[in-house]
């Protein structure tokens, strides 16, 4: 790994604002996912408590549970991204934001605008994540 030198070509306030905006939006989304999942789970439990041997009702319960199972990976993705955003804010405060964590090279501004929590250039990511 090369020595990392702080970037002077970035408007750090712009990237801090982007990271903060994503953090607020994703935190709200995670909260919405959690409250929705909890509400659906409670409904499912209540419905199953009064469940009959009617296969159509059991099918509805299975469909609801399948929907919940699909939501949990989405929540995990949101949580992972929030952690990455927190790490990016830490790098920003430490003066090493926008530098490839493997090579130390600058991450292009366009990539940082698209994914402000990026830790590698596209080229490095392709090599490392193969």
pTM over 0.75: no
The pLDDT value recorded for residue 75 is 81
pLDDT digits (tens, 9 = 90+) for 76-122: 899 999 999 999 999 999 999 999 999 999 999 999 999 999 999 99
Residue 84: closest CA among 107, 116, 108: 116
Query: Is residue 61 situated within a structural domain?
Result: yes
What are 12-40's pLDDT values in tens digits? Answer: 999 999 999 999 999 998 888 888 655 55
Q: How many domains does the chain have?
A: 1
Mean pLDDT for the chain?
82
Residue 6 falls inside a structural domain: no
Could you tell me if residue 2 is inside a domain?
Answer: no
Residue 35: what are its φ and ψ, rounded to 5°?
-70, -35
CATH code for the domain of 79: 1.20.120.910
Q: What is the pLDDT of residue 67?
A: 62
């Amino acid at each position: 790994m090369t020595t990392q030198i702080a970037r002077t070509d970035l408007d750090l306030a712009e990237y801090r604002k982007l990271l903060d905006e994503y953090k607020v939006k994703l935190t709200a989304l995670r909260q919405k996912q959690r409250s929705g999942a909890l509400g659906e789970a409670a409904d499912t439990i209540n419905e199953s408590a009064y469940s009959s041997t009617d296969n159509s009702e059991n099918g509805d319960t299975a469909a609801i549970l399948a929907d919940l199972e699909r939501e949990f990976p989405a929540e995990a993705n949101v949580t992972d991204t929030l952690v990455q955003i927190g790490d990016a804010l830490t790098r920003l405060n430490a003066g090493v934001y926008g530098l490839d964590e493997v090579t130390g090279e600058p991450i292009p501004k366009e990539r940082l605008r698209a994914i402000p929590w990026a830790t590698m250039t596209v080229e490095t990511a392709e090599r490392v994540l193969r």
